[in-house]
Structure 1
């Protein structure tokens, strides 16, 4: 998916924001419908008879294998004889993977044809400018020196670490927090996790249209503000009213879902081309976040107090805002230095 983001940005350049947002939205939609599409290919539920010292009972066996055979389990206390009533049907899940393979093959073939026809991404961008009667414009990105480049790449890694920590922790532990901490039912716990995922997906769709009205800097500022207010509200009021968790989770999902694409687009417009090294840094940040933040949250929830789930999320959101401010401040300082050097030369 990240490669597709780079490809879209390379094609449309500064105008890529709505396309990146919609690409993120399509990924979320795919994640929602794929489990439903896979259901017909799963093995059906089987029923087996259990003989326990002459007494029979019936139970369901959700998993089944390719061989139709009885199984005897012997223990020191009693003997169990399990035998199936019906012939076991082999799972058709291999066809689901076959469909996925065909899909990826078609996508790869389409990109291969595009590469052959357009020769290079530069030619494709030039064609787009010609169709829109646009004249090539000079890039607004300041020239990069090595120190500035390394610093920005480090900050990119940090901001994606923080952003990934918010989404991964929220989606991964919200059910545990609501069920074990707030004593919700498991049904409500899984429901709020689904609502969180739906809000993130909807955020990307709304971001597609928001990019037509707002700049990337404005979008990121609004997203950070909403996330911060949501987390503060969750920390203060989540134990008082049930609906607080629903509202804050929805607003956090709506604000954080489209931020990933907004960060990529802002970097492309203002700092450096979003190519392999930028994407690699972002993936490193997300991966490290996925390994460390949920583990830390789970340990604090289990060994200290379940409310550490909200405290940690609030801390990560604050960290995300601080890193965003550092990136913007570094960018402005670099631009001012470049303008001052140009003024001296002229």
Structure 2
């Protein structure tokens, strides 16, 4: 009878009612997940609003791509700073400050009509979101340790859930498009200036008129003068009206700010009988990683960083440039572009929801290889359906990369924690610094190739990156099996001698409950 009672696992409700320590850990996790919903919302808002932000600052795609780069540079700096401060400052204060700063910078972005000013604000926004991202990931591993796998997948599902919502919030406030009209003429002596024909254009159409004489009118249209050739055609280009994306950014900022409330309550109303011990434990890594030679450790860490650089240079670029790709290559409307972005995030989020349960039954390394192969197949399908212009297949394959990439990022944390070295605050910072490096560098390459050659290079580069990633990860698995030896991970919790343990004291992971 006693053995049955011991083996019986209490339900979630029973744990929340009877175990204050578990309740604190669970609520802490819930608030971090809520923060990540808004973090995903805030970060994914940039993709569908990118064309309108270009209208605000009046820059080309190649130049405006620097906004992504400086955001990633800020993210890199913010990750590094947070990695240093995570173990030195109060973790709740660090998260509260990050949330407030993120809300302020998000609200300010669409009001920056000068390119340099928007770059500064985007850089600050990247630093503050990095602080929240780094702290949240490290907190999940810190709270749950070896049980962090499902919670990490759940955390990043919340991030992608926020990403699903953002395009729907952005779409009603995007600039309204007008239809294209075509004007044919056979009069070789026709001049637009004689007929006073006004041809309103967008920033995308300006390069088409570089050899013409243009006069910018007060209403934002252009008076175009051009000597026409016989049987020539002039198109009235697609026009974007006045944008209202500042309202979508304002809504986002307000909702981000609301997340401060539960963390503030946690900070000011902490249970007086709960004391958190800061891992004064004799904790061993899952392998003999720290016993390797310095060059070997540097090599392993460098490969892990490169994996994160390539993955995030694929994942973030796909979500961020998808709207631009469907507008320029596929000639879809902004509404269809927003729907395509939403489809990606919906598939991405639902797949992450499924991964929360899948990771309990299949080894992380096997899942990463399977999902990596699926990424390659997804981009191959999207490329072929685009080349042959099969619209139903394009819609199908737009969602497939999101499903395939959903598992990999959070799994990098848990796979490393289980197979290589304990993921501490500094290790989490290293991963996110690598991620921001990828997001910082790749937009320049994508912006250059898509504008100078063809928008189809968007898919060529994504396919190439995904092939390199799966090959590199397979090599990493083999390398770690050759270099590292697995060992049982043990945690020894030390109790202060001046307060001896009695029957009313409960010890669970890093918490002590004193009655």
Pick one of 281, 285, 307 that aligns with 2:456. 307
Counterpart contact for 1:182–1:239, Cα < 8 Å: no
Which segment is superposed worse, 300-309 or 136-145?
136-145
Q: CA deviation at 1:189?
A: 1.8
Deviations 1:262-306 (A, max 9, x none): 111100001011112322222222222222212211211111122
CA 1:246–1:7 in structure 2 vs 1: closer, same or farther (change >3 Å)? same
CA 1:237–1:201 in structure 2 vs 1: closer, same or farther (change >3 Å)? same
Show the counterpart of 2:328. 180
Counterpart contact for 1:11–1:121, Cα < 8 Å: no
Q: CA deviation at 1:102?
A: 4.8
* Mapped partners of 1:117, 1:306: distance in 2: 57
Which segment is superposed worse, 276-285 or 253-262?
276-285
CA 1:288–1:95 in structure 2 vs 1: closer, same or farther (change >3 Å)? closer
Deviations 1:11-66 (A, max 9, x none): 22222111101111122223445787899xx9xxxxxxxxxxxxxxxxxxxxxxxx
Pick one of 425, 429, 446 that aligns with 1:276. 425
CA 1:182–1:154 in structure 2 vs 1: closer, same or farther (change >3 Å)? same
CA 1:274–1:78 in structure 2 vs 1: closer, same or farther (change >3 Å)? closer
Which segment is superposed worse, 262-271 or 152-161?
152-161
Show the counterpart of 2:368. 220
Show the counterpart of 2:500. none
* Mapped partners of 2:254, 2:383: distance in 1: 46
Q: CA deviation at 1:161?
A: 0.9
TM-score (norm 1): 0.70
Pick one of 366, 373, 385 that aligns with 1:237. 385
Show the counterpart of 1:20. 152
Show the counterpart of 1:106. 262
Show the counterpart of 2:339. 191
* Mapped partners of 1:291, 1:229: distance in 2: 26
Counterpart contact for 2:285–2:421, Cα < 8 Å: no
Please give the residue correspondences for 1:82-93 in structure 2 after superposition, counting only pairs within 5 Å: none
SS at match of 2:449: helix
Q: CA deviation at 1:199?
A: 1.6
Aligned: 1:119 with 2:276: yes
Counterpart contact for 1:167–1:256, Cα < 8 Å: yes
Counterpart contact for 2:287–2:421, Cα < 8 Å: yes
5+ long unaligned stretches in structure 2 = 1-132, 174-216, 220-246, 488-515
Show the counterpart of 2:316. 168
TM-score (norm 2): 0.49
Q: CA deviation at 1:96?
A: 7.3
Pick one of 326, 336, 343 that aligns with 2:475. 326
* Mapped partners of 2:334, 2:283: distance in 1: 56
Show the counterpart of 1:56. none
CA 1:300–1:17 in structure 2 vs 1: closer, same or farther (change >3 Å)? same
* Mapped partners of 2:370, 2:483: distance in 1: 24
* Mapped partners of 2:366, 2:137: distance in 1: 21
Q: CA deviation at 1:168?
A: 1.5
Q: Where is the helix percentage greater, Structure 1 or Structure 2? A: 1
* Mapped partners of 2:468, 2:271: distance in 1: 41
Which segment is superposed worse, 272-281 or 100-109?
100-109
Q: CA deviation at 1:151?
A: 1.8
Show the counterpart of 1:53. none
Pick one of 26, 30, 48 that aligns with 2:162. 30
Counterpart contact for 1:228–1:317, Cα < 8 Å: yes
Show the counterpart of 2:414. 265
Counterpart contact for 1:204–1:258, Cα < 8 Å: yes
Q: CA deviation at 1:117?
A: 2.3
